[in-house]
Chains A and B, each alone.
Chain A
Amino acid sequence: AQSVSQHNHHVILSEAASLELGCNYSYGGTVNLFWYVQYPGQHLQLLLKYFSGDPLVKGIKGFEAEFIKSKFSFNLRKPSVQWSDTAEYFCAVNANSGYSTLTFGKGTMLLVSP
């Protein structure tokens, strides 16, 4: 069975600080990897995704993530956060074979102080 582990439940940063949110997954086969974001009062939105190819993927709003297969990791990064990045971030994985449901991590709540 698939599982996803997010390292931090809560992160507090000041504006302009750099961000890295950890995500590790457990699955024996080929996977697709996703980061979703949930802004306060809004629904889950896709931030970025990795299916194949370049392991460094860029998403919306200046976010990027790097897939390191040997470490089963897909960490999310942003060089300089803004107050508007305050949200909950979820890492998710599904198997890259036919249809497959998403397995989510528990989420990381990011609070950016102005």
Chain B
Amino acid sequence: DTGVSQDPRHKITKRGQNVTFRCDPISEHNRLYWYRQTLGQGPEFLTYFQNEAQLEKSRLLSDRFSAERPKGSFSTLEIQRTEQGDSAMYLCASSFPTSGETQYFGPGTRLLVL
């Protein structure tokens, strides 16, 4: 399968713990996006990379959130000192910069903070 992959698919953690998620985009895609989706809502943008550069961050991304894409390939999203409000589905998408580019989504990582 050459689609976007995410790991882990599910994560249960206790409040205050740190968690890290990984996203592997489609190989030729140099743009990578992170979104968060909570129950009853559509995905909400968190941050965006072009190659290894993080070009935009949403105000939703508090100081406890950090994302990296060190070699312009896979990306990690870390949440420090998790809170119950962080419980959500974290989605990764990738795209190739063409006119009217389409973002392709991974299966997501579902986080539950107890």
Contact = CB atoms under 8 A, between A and B. Distances in A.
Interface of A: 4, 9, 32, 34, 36, 42-46, 49, 51-52, 90, 92, 96, 99, 101-107
B97 A99 contact: yes
In the A-B complex, the 10 residue pairs with the smallest Cβ-Cβ separation, listed nearest first, are A104-B42, A51-B100, A44-B105, A43-B107, A101-B45, A32-B100, A104-B43, A90-B42, A107-B42, A106-B42
Contacts, number: 53
Contact of B44 (A9, A32, A43, A104): A104
Q: Which of B55, B91, B97, B105 has the most CB of A within 10 A?
A: B105
Q: Which of A51, A101, A103 has the most CB of B within 10 A?
A: A101
Interface in B55-110: 55-56, 91, 93, 97, 99-108
A interface SS class: loop
B100 A107 contact: no
A38 B103 CA distance: 14
28 contacts: A34-B102, A42-B107, A43-B108, A44-B43, A44-B91, A45-B105, A46-B102, A46-B104, A49-B100, A49-B102, A51-B99, A92-B42, A99-B31, A99-B50, A99-B55, A99-B97, A101-B45, A101-B48, A101-B56, A102-B33, A102-B35, A102-B43, A102-B93, A104-B44, A105-B42, A106-B40, A106-B41, A107-B42
